């Protein structure tokens, strides 16, 4: 049985902007309704997940006002406000939802300023500790796509200078976009899709680690093919853990600058995810897992 009580502490800490957080965090996206749209079926259960996360020692929650929209931020405020001084809430700016729930770009200066204020209002805060610019140059919710970061980041730098934002990050970004952003301002974190089977950011993670910049992967099980899933399942069975726990443990051991934000709307699933931080993988296990993404 993996240790849940001390798992968050055992994950270690890393710098995130002006803050230092445990490497095992929580992503609030799944607290909204189906397809991250509308309210959840059980709002009290969503509150319980957040309160349990904090009770387990999680001090890094990832959210956005376009989850719902507005729903997850409102739920976070209802469950946790006034916030513990140790809690760092990170949000994303750069997208919006239409009436049907489609994901649309919202990256103009006015839209970014409005989104920053909306996040503050719905979270019940005066300043966003860390705001990620969520790039959406492609159609819908496409992956990283080439595009000029400068005109998008400049308005956020202004908001930082005004004190509405504490630190800036970038999400869904190509390595060259990350470098462009870093040439303009201090970047606290990069949030991209990365996991055992999708290793395109390997070099970027190492580059950021050398610079002391956090990397926050999303979709820890996204994009696995059947053979890769079976290989992960086999390792999980041998370890007496779930595939998700093994995938999260591998990410924690991949690089010290990786911060995890697995999401769930279930207290039991939250505890299962958190317990992954106490799973120690041997060198032989890591070698076999590394081969999954080869």
Whether residue 273 is contained in a domain is answered as no
Q: Are strands 187-193 and 214-218 parallel, antiparallel or unpaired?
A: parallel
Q: What angle do CA 25, 284, 225 make, to 5 degrees?
A: 65
pLDDT digits (tens, 9 = 90+) for 72-87: 999 999 999 999 999 9
pLDDT of residue 138: 74
pLDDT digits (tens, 9 = 90+) for 172-214: 999 999 999 999 999 999 999 999 999 999 999 999 999 999 9
pLDDT of residue 139: 61
* Domain harbouring 54, CATH code: 3.20.20.100
| Residue among 220, 239, 222, 236 at smallest CA distance from 25 | 220
Label residue 1 by pLDDT band (50, 70, 90): low
Q: How many residues are present in the chain?
A: 294
Give the residue numbers annotated as catalytic, written as ranges.
67
**Distance, CA of 193 to CA of 204 (rounded, Å):** 12
Q: What is the 3-class SS of 232-280, one letter each residue?
A: HHHHHHHHCCCHHHHHHHHHHHHCCCECECCECCCHHHHHHHHHHHHCC
Before 283, cis peptide (omega within 30)? no
Q: Are strands 103-105 and 95-97 parallel, antiparallel or unpaired?
A: antiparallel
Q: Considering the chain, what percentage of its residues have pLDDT values greater than 90? A: 94
Whether residue 57 is contained in a domain is answered as yes
What's the total number of domains in the chain?
A: 1
Domain that holds residue 68: 7-223+255-265
Label residue 71 by pLDDT band (50, 70, 90): very high
Based on its alpha-carbon atoms, the radius of gyration of the chain, rounded to whole angstroms, reads 18
pLDDT digits (tens, 9 = 90+) for 30-62: 999 999 999 999 999 999 999 999 999 999 999
Whether residue 238 is contained in a domain is answered as no
Query: For 19, phi and psi rounded to 5 degrees?
Result: -110, 170
| Residue among 167, 223, 214 at smallest CA distance from 193 | 223
In the predicted structure, residue 108 carries a pLDDT above the cut 90: yes
pLDDT of residue 142: 67
| Average pLDDT of the chain to the nearest whole number | 96
Label residue 2 by pLDDT band (50, 70, 90): confident
**Cβ 25 vs Cβ 264: under 8 Å:** no
Secondary structure of residue 35 in the 3-state scheme = helix
Q: pTM for the complete prediction?
A: 0.97
Whether residue 150 is contained in a domain is answered as yes
Whether residue 237 is contained in a domain is answered as no
Whether residue 293 is contained in a domain is answered as no
Whether residue 218 is contained in a domain is answered as yes
Whether residue 1 is contained in a domain is answered as no
pLDDT of residue 70: 98
pLDDT digits (tens, 9 = 90+) for 10-34: 999 999 999 999 999 999 999 999 9
């Amino acid at each position: 049985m993996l240790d849940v009580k001390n798992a968050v502490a055992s994950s270690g800490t890393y710098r995130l902007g002006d803050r230092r957080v445990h490497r095992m965090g929580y992503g609030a996206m799944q607290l909204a309704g189906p397809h991250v749209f509308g309210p959840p079926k059980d709002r009290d259960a969503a509150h319980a997940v957040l309160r349990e996360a904090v009770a387990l020692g999680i001090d890094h929650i990832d959210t956005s006002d376009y989850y719902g929209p507005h729903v997850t931020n409102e739920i976070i405020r209802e469950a946790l406000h006034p916030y513990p001084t140790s809690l760092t809430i990170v949000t994303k700016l750069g997208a919006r939802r239409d009436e049907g729930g489609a994901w649309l770009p919202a990256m103009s200066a006015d839209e970014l300023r409005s989104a920053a204020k909306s996040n503050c209002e719905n979270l019940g805060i005066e300043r966003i500790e860390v705001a990620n610019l969520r790039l959406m140059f492609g159609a819908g919710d496409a992956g990283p796509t080439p595009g000029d970061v400068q005109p998008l980041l400049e308005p956020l730098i202004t908001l930082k200078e005004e004190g509405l934002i504490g630190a800036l990050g970038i999400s869904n970004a190509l390595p060259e976009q990350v470098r462009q952003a870093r040439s303009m301002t201090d970047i606290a974190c990069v949030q991209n899709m990365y996991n055992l089977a999708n290793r395109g950011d390997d070099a970027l993670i190492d580059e950021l680690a050398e610079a002391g910049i956090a990397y926050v992967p999303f979709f820890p099980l996204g994009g696995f093919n059947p053979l890769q899933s079976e290989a992960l399942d086999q390792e999980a069975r041998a370890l007496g853990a779930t595939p998700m726990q093994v995938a999260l443990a591998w990410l924690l051991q991949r690089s010290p600058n990786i911060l995890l934000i697995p999401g769930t709307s279930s207290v039991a699933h939250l505890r299962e995810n958190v317990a992954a931080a106490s799973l120690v993988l041997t060198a032989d296990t890591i070698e076999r897992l590394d081969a999954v993404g080869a």
